Amino acid sequence: MQLPLSLPVPAPDAMAASQALQQLIINDINAHGGWISFARYMELALYAPALGYYSGGAAKLGKDGDFTTAPEITPLFGTTLAHAAAKLFAQTGAQIMEFGAGTGKLAYDILSEYEAQGIVLDRYFIVELSGELRARQEELLKPFPQVQWLQQMPRSLSGVVLGNEVLDAMPVQIVIKTDLGWKECGVSVVDQDSPLQQPRFIYRERDCDAGLTAQIPDADALPSGYMTEVHPIGAGFMRSLAQMLAEGHRDSGQGAVAILIDYGFPAAEYYLEQRMQGTLMCHYRHHSHPDPFYLPGLQDITAHVDFTAMALAAQAAGLDLLGYTSQAGFLLEAGIGDLLMRTPAEDPLKYLPQANALQKLISPAEMGELFKVLVVGKGVDLDARLLRHDRSHRL
């Protein structure tokens, strides 16, 4: 494989792992007649046992990983979510479930805040698919006996579900508008001219199921060559989440709510005509680029979230849409500014790093506007303060 000169060269063992994953994907393509959906490719690249990006052993998060998430930037993020969740416990019961807990930093900050404030939490469930990340979480969260790991979503839950940058890592399917109508872009493999070169993956089109483009507003009006992502797996996750929360509400009589934080847009903004190449993006050693076929297993592959599709899937499965807003609006109304003031401004060595981190979380030029917060649930009323900047009408 020829490496782009601007990206760091992986270590030999990492390259060997990527080549092993490439062969696994090639075998899967050959077993399915020379074509797999992009969602299947992305699933294998991210989650193939022992080799996928999230299921392998490489560090993913923080300064030594490929990208940094909000909990890694500042404990103010987790502390703010801790208070937002605690205000719901009277309606839901004192349980939290986190999907995709990363290094465990968000859980650590939430649990540390509860311990400091004397807030009783019965259980903190973590649903984690990555063995390497779970091991890191277990080490970090040893002081907290409330934590329990799950390998899959339970049948029912009454409590507060948290998902920070979970939906963007779910496999997407890719479609393209052609002169002959919409086509699905899957993945095939071709041999290189030189026998010393690895086979390479390519996009290959086939006829598109009409259901794939149903979530695209005015799909027929988009220009030929328009390529984008659709999110049936994310929508399926929302339906399963809705079923779990609805069952929890029925079983316990208590409320159930999910707070999902991610980067994305409502459908009317996601599928703008000028967004001709979609939103697919890859992250490798803090470098971002658009090639999903580069070093599979060593880079993250993500797509922005279509929040309209996620909200509609949750509603269709029985949940209420409780709120949709920017990350900045949610964090500010949840009290992140007040929590910053617990660090004395007179101590600049402590205060300034936290103030700078808060600015990154809420600035429209950073994460404040690109990241959104979707809240769905059953039997729960949100604090009116959290709805001051509600944008549900845009979904």
Question: How far apart (Å, rounded) are the C-alpha atoms in residues 190 and 181?
Answer: 25
Is residue 296 pLDDT above 90, yes or no? Answer: yes
More confident: 131 or 200: 200
From the list 132, 133, 131, 130, the residue with the least C-alpha distance to 106 is 133
pLDDT at 130 exceeding the cut of 90: no
> What are 13's two structure tokens?
């063992």
**Residue 288: its pLDDT value, please?**
87
pLDDT in tens, 360-387: 999 999 999 999 999 999 999 999 998 8
Check residue 198 and give its pLDDT: 66
Could you read off the pLDDT of 22-42 as tens digits, one per residue?
Answer: 999 999 999 999 999 999 999
pTM for the model: 0.94
Evaluate if residue 191 carries a pLDDT over 90: no
Distance CA 307, CA 153 (A): 21
CB atoms within 10 A of CB 220: 9
What SS3 state is found at 12?
helix
Distance of alpha carbon 240 from alpha carbon 217, whole angstroms = 25
pLDDT tens-digit profile of 77-102? Answer: 999 999 999 999 999 999 999 998 98
- Asked whether the predicted pLDDT for residue 230 surpasses 70, the reply is yes
**Greatest alpha-carbon span in the chain:** 67
Which class for 274: exposed (0-12), middle (13-18), buried (19 or more C-beta within 10 A)? Answer: exposed
Q: How confident is the model at residue 57, as a pLDDT?
A: 63
Residue range 12-394, CATH number: 3.40.50.12710
Residue 66 — pLDDT band, cuts 50, 70, 90? low
H/E stretch holding 98 reads: strand 95-99
* Better pLDDT: 60 or 239: 239
pLDDT of residue 65: 52
Which residues lie below 8 Å from residue 342, measured CB to CB, with a gap of 6+?
none
**Average pLDDT of 50-68?**
68
pLDDT in tens, 344-355: 999 999 999 999
Mean pLDDT score of the chain, rounded to an integer?
A: 93
* Per-residue pLDDT at 1 exceeds 50: no
